[in-house]
Amino acid sequence: MHRKGPEGPRLPGKRKGDGKGKIVRRNISVHSRNLRFFAAPLLVIFVFVRSLAYQFFLAIVLVSQYSRR
């Protein structure tokens, strides 16, 4: 398993047979700042919503179990 440059394993969306490596790399370097700027709050919001949904699901299960008795 050999890597071609430092961008190999970090980009799962880019297939090996694309052929346009330089253009893709330049676009990524141009958009990386905006991507990082948007990704951090999005990740925080996503984790928050997921934990909130998990708590909501647990509350529903507990209520349904208590109402059954």
Q: What is the pLDDT of residues 22-41, one digit of tens each?
A: 555 555 565 666 676 777 78
Per the domain annotation, does 7 fall within a domain?
no
**In this structure, is residue 33 part of a structural domain?**
yes
Segments of the chain with pLDDT less than 50: none
Tell me if 55 is assigned to some domain.
yes
- The token duo for 9 is 């394993």
Q: Is residue 27 part of a domain?
A: yes
Domain for residue 26, yes or no? yes
Q: Pick from 28, 38, 30: which is nearest to 8 by CA?
A: 28
Structure tokens at 59: 């509350």
